[in-house]
């Protein structure tokens, strides 16, 4: 099943490569990975989505935790959490009918049109991965997709609980 | 307060002294010449010049295994560093404390494909416990303190420290500030077992009717051999060791039922297969132990103690996992056992021992002594007798390694030095040299074969330079014995590239290096040759023993079978 893992680690050169290397070295897959610093600039936070049964995810969690740079790892899938992903998508929008249809889709999904060219619209959607998939499916009905950029999911636990140093 | 300032190279040397380093194994080159100059100007740390950097890592490794201290390697950038990779991987697989100092091109040239530039931190990333790039010379003492701390605590392992040439520049000076204590907020090696898990473990152990203790390299690394022996005796439990765990309890102890696994004893593997409770201590259920994991000990409750949580339930699910340092957990277990109201079912235990003794009576290690060819097993037995079982034995990898493990019952921990995890041919000679350096008055013997010895034979030259009087016992079968054995058993005897047609005259070879070489062709010559070798203590002696090339290592687990599905001899199943 799909898992979303949150990792807090030292913001040092090479830290990210240790995480990515671990996944390839042990044949775990990475569906998406995002990384950025936290409010404490000495720490980075990585969100990884992966697939695996309980046994594999347990090993992934332990192996990541064993890396000396890693402070904490949690499996967000096991708790109430919020997940968001940013999508930027460029679609053909040459005639009025297509433009109107694309605009309607963006409205319904609460996306935004960020830019328009002579032949295209560029849209943004911030949503769960599932909603982004469905947004792209709907867009494909109305027009042809030229380019897709996705940030990968980021996630955070609900309520007062926090992943902190 | 002292205001003395030191350059980067001197900071390295001072920090190493602070860390009680006595020997560095290495090879100079462009990027580390400043550091070599600093080493030249002091006398506390001795540098051992090897002939190939791989051997430096194995020497440091052998030194670390025998002493328990951190082995230190120094190599130049590029090829010097990449030559260390096999040795780093060897140490990583067997959890050996090691710090590898690698040169690097100056920081301004990193990334330019400069002369002798290699990203050694990147190359070694999957095979280190951790690594450091030094980007500011004043940090050198702190980085080295952390490197040694990481290498030697928790589950030990190799740490690589990359030192760009400009960090070692003699012109730039800094104060020497060595940290009083070393802590990392992201690293807390587990020390104590969870009390609830200890309770569960003790109940399972005491209620067992067919208990087996299965201990591995963790016992050696954590120096808990005495505690283990006490536990075994207080429970009167049968105990088996992994290849890495031999010597964890004396090989002559009545409760010891031999090594387990691929070439383990019948009684050890049978006991595992029939156990109702397995207490695994510092072992990792390696595939060379378990055979087919799907058929592994289906009826046993598995209690697994390890300092590294990733070892637990990785290949075999542990019913009662205990994460913690063995020293503490063994104490916790012993205290709880001594206090527990549960008493062991002694009559069940007697039945269990009777069963084990009946397996033992099958004498799975007996071998045919027909013919006039020298049997490799007989050589190991003769070495055992000649050394009273007290020598340090290092081995390479292959048949000779298994024969040494089977026929030399190790009395003490750290006495058996072999590359169990990675299986590195070429490990034995440099490892034996590291042992000899640590214990010059003890016998350090490298058991090897005609294949393995040639993978680091250049170190005979290092032996002469430092007068390392190791003994090399080569079981020469004119072939890559273990490869040949598998080809005999699984490839209908097609000996693809396992035959050596152009072996050197080893006696002449070792003589040209300035050592003593003795060739043994006939069984009658064996005993006198060993006696002669043992009487020479101030020179390296190389015994080139021509053994029966057709001999196979038995017992042997049957591929894809259960842990106790074994060949006892050619064509004879257990």
Query: Do the Cβ atoms of B131 and B191 come closer than 8 Å?
Result: no
Which chain A residue has its CA at the smallest distance from B133's CA?
A13
Comparing CA positions, the residue from B201, B546, B187 lying closest to residue A68 is B187
> Of B116, B334, B355, B458, which residue is the catalytic one?
B116
Comparing CA positions, the residue from A4, A7, A1 lying closest to residue A128 is A4
Instruction: Name B179's Cβ contacts closer than 8 Å, sequence gap at least 6.
Output: B141, B142, B145
Facing residues of B557 across strands?
Answer: B566
Q: How many CB atoms lie within 10 A of CB A140?
A: 11
Report CB contact under 8 Å: B187, A68.
yes
Whether the complex's predicted ipTM surpasses the cut of 0.95? no
Q: Which residues of B touch A71 (CB under 8 A)?
A: 185-186
- For A2-79, which CATH class? alpha beta
Query: Do the Cβ atoms of A61 and A73 come closer than 8 Å?
Result: yes
> Of B5, B42, B115, B465, which residue is the catalytic one?
B115
Residue B470 CA to residue A161 CA, distance in Å, equals 61
Residue B280 CA to residue B321 CA, distance in Å, equals 10
B362 CB-contact burial (10 Å; exposed 0-12 / middle 13-18 / buried 19+): middle
* Model pLDDT for residues B413-443, shown as the tens digit of each residue: 999 999 999 999 999 999 999 999 999 999 9
Query: Do the Cβ atoms of B458 and B51 come closer than 8 Å?
Result: yes
B482 catalytic per annotation: yes
Residue A118 C-alpha, separation from nearest chain B C-alpha, in angstroms: 42
Q: Parallel, antiparallel, or unpaired for β B173-175 and B5-7?
A: antiparallel
Please report, for chain A, the start and end positions of each structural domain, with discontinuous segments joined by +: 2-79, 82-154
> B517-531 as b/e, with b when 16 or more CB fall inside 10 Å?
bbbbeeeebbeebbe
Q: Looking at residue B28, what is its pLDDT?
A: 98
Helix (H, G, I), strand (E, B) or coil at A155: strand
Q: How many CB pairs under 8 A join A and B?
A: 37
Pick the CATH number of A82-154 from 3.30.70.100, 3.40.50.2300, 3.20.20.70, 3.30.70.1150: 3.30.70.1150
Which chain B residue has its CA at the smallest distance from A71's CA?
B186
Residue A11 CA to residue A41 CA, distance in Å, equals 7
Domains of chain B by range and CATH?
Answer: 5-175 (3.40.50.970), 195-360 (3.40.50.1220), 376-553 (3.40.50.970)
Q: Looking at residue B2, what is its pLDDT?
A: 53
Q: Looking at residue A99, what is its pLDDT?
A: 96
Residue B223 CA to residue B331 CA, distance in Å, equals 13
Instruction: Name B520's Cβ contacts closer than 8 Å, sequence gap at least 6.
Output: B374, B526, B529, B543, B544, B545, B546
DSSP string, B495-564: -TT-B-S----HHHHHHHTTSEEEEE-SHHHHHHHHHHHHH--SS-EEEEEEB-TT----SEEPTTS-TT
B277, B279, B283, B288 alpha-carbon torsion, rounded to 10°: -20
Report CB contact under 8 Å: A63, B310.
yes
Give yes or no for B139 touching A (CB within 8 A).
no
Average pLDDT of B456-462? Answer: 98
* Model pLDDT for residues B270-295, shown as the tens digit of each residue: 999 999 999 999 999 999 999 999 99
* Model pLDDT for residues B334-376, shown as the tens digit of each residue: 999 999 999 999 999 999 999 999 999 999 999 998 888 999 9
B115 catalytic per annotation: yes
pLDDT value at B1 more than 50: no
Residue B55 CA to residue B39 CA, distance in Å, equals 20
Residue B499 to residues B77, B282, B493, Cα–Cα distance (Å):
36, 38, 12
Q: Looking at residue B207, what is its pLDDT?
A: 97
Residue B92 to residues A83, B83, B96, B364, B421, Cα–Cα distance (Å):
38, 15, 6, 33, 9
DSSP at B178: -
> Of B59, B98, B455, B482, which residue is the catalytic one?
B482
Q: Which residues of A touch B122 (CB under 8 A)?
A: 17
Query: Do the Cβ atoms of B148 and B132 come closer than 8 Å?
Result: no
* Model pLDDT for residues B88-136, shown as the tens digit of each residue: 999 999 999 999 999 999 999 999 999 999 999 999 999 999 999 999 9
Block means of pLDDT (10 residues each) for chain A, length 165 residues? 96 95 94 96 97 93 97 96 97 96 97 96 97 97 97 96 89
Q: Which of B186, B308, B313 sits opposite A70 (nearest CB)?
A: B186
Report CB contact under 8 Å: B184, A68.
yes
Which chain B residue has its CA at the smallest distance from A9's CA?
B186
**Complete edge-to-edge strand list for the sheet that includes strand B541-546:** B416-417, B392-395, B444-449, B471-476, B541-546, B516-520
The separation between the first and the last C-alpha atoms of chain B, rounded to the nearest angstrom, is: 73
Helix (H, G, I), strand (E, B) or coil at B107: helix
Report CB contact under 8 Å: A62, B126.
no
Residue B491 CA to residue B489 CA, distance in Å, equals 6
Same CATH fold, A82-154 and A2-79? yes
Q: Parallel, antiparallel, or unpaired for β B23-27 and A154-157?
A: unpaired
Q: Which residues of B touch A63 (CB under 8 A)?
A: 310
Chain B, window 331-390: residues with a beta carbon less than 8 angstroms from a chain A beta carbon: none
Chain B, window 215-244: residues with a beta carbon less than 8 angstroms from a chain A beta carbon: none
DSSP string, B117-142: ---HHHHHGGG-SEEEE---GGGHHH
Whole-number average pLDDT of chain B: 97
Query: Do the Cβ atoms of B393 and B472 come closer than 8 Å?
Result: no
Residue B311 to residues B68, B299, B361, B467, B476, Cα–Cα distance (Å):
22, 21, 34, 41, 37
Average pLDDT of B308-316? Answer: 95
Q: Which of A10, A13, A59 sits opposite B133 (nearest CB)?
A: A13
Residue B190 CA to residue B213 CA, distance in Å, equals 22
Q: Looking at residue B191, what is its pLDDT?
A: 82
Q: What's phi and psi for B211, nearest 5 deg?
A: -85, 140
Q: Looking at residue B405, what is its pLDDT?
A: 98
Residue B212 CA to residue B206 CA, distance in Å, equals 12
Chain A, window 27-66: residues with a beta carbon less than 8 angstroms from a chain B beta carbon: 55, 58-59, 62-63, 65-66
B4 pLDDT band, cuts 50/70/90, is: confident
> Of B165, B210, B436, B471, which residue is the catalytic one?
B165
Which chain A residue has its CA at the smallest distance from B134's CA?
A13
The separation between the first and the last C-alpha atoms of chain A, rounded to the nearest angstrom, is: 29
Query: Do the Cβ atoms of B417 and B433 come closer than 8 Å?
Result: no
Q: Parallel, antiparallel, or unpaired for β B71-75 and B23-27?
A: parallel
Average pLDDT of B397-403? Answer: 98
Report CB contact under 8 Å: A65, B313.
no
Which chain A residue has its CA at the smallest distance from B186's CA?
A71
Report CB contact under 8 Å: B125, A10.
no
């Amino acid at each position: 099943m799909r898992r979303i893992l949150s990792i807090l680690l030292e913001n040092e050169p090479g830290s990210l490569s240790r995480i990515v290397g671990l996944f390839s070295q042990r044949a775990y897959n990475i569906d998406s990975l995002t990384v950025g610093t936290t409010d404490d600039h000495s720490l980075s936070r990585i969100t990884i989505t992966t697939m695996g049964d309980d046994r594999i995810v347990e090993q992934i969690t332990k192996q990541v935790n064993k890396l000396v740079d890693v402070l904490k790892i949690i499996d967000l899938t096991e708790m109430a959490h919020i997940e968001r992903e940013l999508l930027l998508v460029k679609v053909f929008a040459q005639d009025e009918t297509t433009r109107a249809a694309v605009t309607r889709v963006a409205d319904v999904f609460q996306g935004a049109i960020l830019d328009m060219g002579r032949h295209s619209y560029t849209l943004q959607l911030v949503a769960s991965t599932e909603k982004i998939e469905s947004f792209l499916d709907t867009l494909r009905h109305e027009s042809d997709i030229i380019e897709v950029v996705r940030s990968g999911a980021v996630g955070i636990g609900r309520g007062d609980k926090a992943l902190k140093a | 307060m002292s205001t003395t300032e030191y350059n980067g190279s001197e900071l390295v040397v001072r920090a190493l002294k602070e860390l009680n380093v006595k020997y560095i194994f290495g090879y100079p080159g462009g990027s580390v010449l400043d550091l070599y100059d600093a080493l030249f100007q002091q006398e506390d740390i001795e540098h051992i010049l090897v002939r190939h950097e791989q051997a430096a890592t194995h020497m440091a490794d052998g030194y670390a295994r025998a002493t328990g201290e951190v082995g230190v390697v120094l190599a130049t950038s590029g090829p010097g560093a990449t030559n260390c990779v096999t040795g780093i991987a060897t140490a990583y697989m067997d959890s050996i404390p090691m710090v590898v100092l690698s040169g690097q091109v100056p920081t301004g040239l990193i990334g330019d494909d400069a002369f002798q530039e290699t990203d050694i931190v990147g190359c070694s990333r999957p095979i280190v416990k951790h690594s450091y790039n030094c980007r500011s010379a004043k940090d050198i003492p702190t980085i080295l303190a952390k490197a040694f701390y990481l290498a030697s605590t928790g589950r030990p392992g190799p740490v690589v420290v990359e030192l760009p040439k400009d960090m070692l520049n003699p012109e730039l000076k800094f104060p020497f500030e060595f940290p009083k204590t070393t802590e990392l907020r992201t690293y807390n090696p587990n020390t104590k077992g969870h009390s609830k898990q200890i309770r569960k473990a003790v109940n399972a152990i005491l209620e067992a009717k067919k208990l087996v203790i299965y201990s591995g390299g963790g016992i050696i690394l954590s120096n808990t051999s005495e505690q283990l022996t006490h536990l075994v005796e207080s429970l009167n439990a049968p105990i088996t060791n992994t290849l890495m765990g031999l010597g964890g309890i004396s090989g002559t102890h009545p409760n010891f039922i031999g090594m387990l696994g691929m070439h383990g004893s019948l009684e050890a593997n049978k006991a595992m297969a029939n156990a109702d409770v397995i207490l695994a201590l510092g072992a990792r259920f390696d595939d060379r132990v378990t055979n087919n994991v799907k058929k592994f000990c289906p009826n046993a409750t598995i209690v697994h103690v390890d300092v590294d949580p990733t070892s637990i339930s990785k290949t075999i699910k542990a019913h009662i996992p205990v994460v913690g340092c063995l020293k503490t957990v063994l104490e916790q277990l012993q205290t709880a056992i001594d206090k527990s109201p549960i008493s062991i079912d002694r009559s069940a235990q007697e039945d269990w021992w009777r069963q084990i003794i009946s397996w033992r009576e099958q004498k799975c290690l007996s071998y045919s002594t027909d013919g006039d060819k020298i049997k490799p097993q007989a050589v190991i037995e003769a070495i055992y007798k000649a050394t009273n079982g007290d020598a340090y034995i290092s081995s390479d990898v292959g048949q000779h390694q298994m024969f040494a493990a089977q026929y030399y019952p190790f009395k003490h921990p750290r006495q058996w030095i072999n590359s169990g995890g990675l299986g590195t041919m070429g490990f034995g000679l440099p490892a034996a040299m590291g042992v000899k350096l640590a214990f010059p008055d003890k016998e350090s013997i490298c058991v090897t074969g005609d294949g393995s010895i040639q993978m680091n034979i250049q170190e005979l030259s290092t032996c002469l330079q430092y007068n390392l009087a190791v003994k090399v016992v080569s079981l020469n079968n004119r072939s890559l014995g273990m490869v040949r054995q598998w080809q005999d058993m699984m490839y209908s005897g097609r000996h693809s590239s396992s035959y050596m047609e152009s072996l050197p005259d080893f006696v002449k070879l070792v003589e040209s290096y300035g050592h003593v070489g003795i060739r043994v062709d006939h069984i009658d010559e064996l005993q006198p040759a060993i006696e002669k070798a043992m009487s020479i203590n101030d020179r390296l002696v190389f015994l080139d023993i021509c053994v029966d090339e057709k001999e196979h290592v038995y017992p042997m687990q049957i591929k894809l079978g259960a842990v106790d599905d074994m060949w006892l001899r050619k064509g004879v199943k257990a």
